[in-house]
Structure 1
Amino acid sequence: MATFISHLTIDCSDAYSLSEWWKPVLGYEDVPDDPNLPGHDECMLVDPAGKGMTVLFIEVPEGKSVKNRLHLDLRPREDPQDTEIERLIAHGATVVADRRGQYGPGTGWVTLADPEGNEFCVLRSPAQLAEQSAPTEAADA
């Protein structure tokens, strides 16, 4: 019999602060009736719509020292990729690598890092993907 992923755990030095940083990034909230508070060494966030994966932040003694072996790929729900990247940088993310256009116009991603250095990628929005796959007027002629 198969298993399923219960939640994604992110090791960190300050579970509360990092969960608070990620909350507006994902549009997530604390577990109802179990709020995250300063000093908690484990803080969980859930998708209020109940559709996304639960994320758990756990304090560990060691700091991040190498590239993540696993990372999140984020897709903006509505805004274009560039707008979402600007929002996240204004929120405190840092750019690790810009791979936009790597596979041709309108392709690619940008790798960012949260305040503790955990990398994540920002992909193009569903609207941008649909726009790219839509036939152009020249192709219809």
Structure 2
Amino acid sequence: MGLKMRVVELECTDPLKLAEFWSAVLDAPIGPGADGVNIAPRGEQEMRLYLVEERAPGRPRSRTRLWLNPAQGRLDVEVARLTALGAKVIEKRWTNRSCGLAVVVLADPEGNEFCIGSSDHEVAEAVRRFEDAGDDLEGLRPEPESTGVVRIDTP
């Protein structure tokens, strides 16, 4: 037996305003909810993002983060699109610098943090390069004393 994930809930001061941001991020329509606003990504029948008004203003918000990947294209292009929508870059980390794979931590207009990882296309391309016998695999080994995550300072 197991559980199905149905909803990720974010508390916010203005659910409708924040829903406009997340609707653009996920390219998904805004719908009504019992005490908030629903955003159901296209093609998803059950999984939803649910935005509700803060239940206990002043209480620290959850450190839970959504992890998203570009459906198409490149991570840097998607990060540029999200910052144009109002997201703020918090941190950029390499998951594998040699392969060019990364994760970017962003915050929505109300400060809720979320992560965007390299796209499936970027990962597949990195795997292809890694598996290509003609490539120099020396550059794909972890650096000495590396945790695999490198912080990149952002302006």
Q: Same fold (TM over 0.5)?
A: yes
User: Per the alignment, in what secondary structure is the counterpart of residue 78 of structure 1?
Assistant: coil
- Which of the numbers 55, 72, 82 marks the counterpart of 1:88? 82
Structure 1 consecutive aligned stretches of length 4 or more whose deviation exceeds 6 Å: none
Q: State the distance in 1 between where 2:24 and 2:68 align.
A: 13
1:39-118 to 2 correspondence within 5 Å?
42-50=36-44, 53-60=47-54, 61-63=56-58, 65=60, 68-99=62-93, 101=94, 103-105=96-98, 106-118=100-112
Q: Give the superposed CA RMSD.
A: 2.4
Q: 1:92 to 1:63 in 2, by over 3 A?
A: farther
Q: Percent identity?
A: 31
Deviations 1:42-93 (A, max 9, x none): 1011122226721100001415746x42111110011200000011011110
Partner of 1:3: 3
Does 1:131 pair with 2:125? yes
In the TM superposition, residue 98 of structure 1 has moved relative to its aligned partner by: 1.2
Q: 1:63 to 1:132 in 2, by over 3 A?
A: farther
Q: State the distance in 2 between where 1:64 and 1:129 align.
A: 38
TM-score (ref. length: structure 1): 0.81
Unpaired stretches in structure 2, ≥5 consecutive residues: 137-155
TM-score (ref. length: structure 2): 0.75
User: Per the alignment, in what secondary structure is the counterpart of residue 28 of structure 1?
Assistant: coil
